[in-house]
Amino acid sequence: MIRENLLKVGEEWREIADYMLEGHVEYKPLQSNPMRSGTQFVYQRARLNLTLYFPEKIFNRFMGWMDSGKVELLRAVIQSSLPKRSGYDIYEFKIHGIIGDP
């Protein structure tokens, strides 16, 4: 889904979209406690820490091509790729390189 949405953003994202198939995603939902004692219930969307892992060669390509604006755009595309019904908002977003293939 992320790959498809990146292709909709523009042709300049085609290479990055192709790299999405070679990476690994780690997601960690953060637990929230909306029912603390003595407080009124307030509905909150759950937060999600998301880390993308790519082989070192691809990670280096990312670092050479991306700037802070493109990272924020990538984060927004990934957020829009999450189904609304999941109830998650990306809280922390990281891209890491790993030595060797995933």
Q: What is residue 44's DSSP assignment?
A: -
70 falls in which pLDDT band (50, 70, 90)? very high
Render pLDDT for 23-69 as a digit per residue (tens, 0 to 9): 888 888 887 665 666 666 666 678 899 999 999 999 998 889 889 89
Give the residue carrying structure tokens 């691809």.
Answer: 58
Question: Which sequence spans correspond to the domains of the chain?
Answer: 2-30+46-98
User: What is the predicted pLDDT for the residue at 32?
Assistant: 65
Render pLDDT for 71-100 as a digit per residue (tens, 0 to 9): 999 999 999 998 888 888 999 999 998 866
Residues in the chain: 102
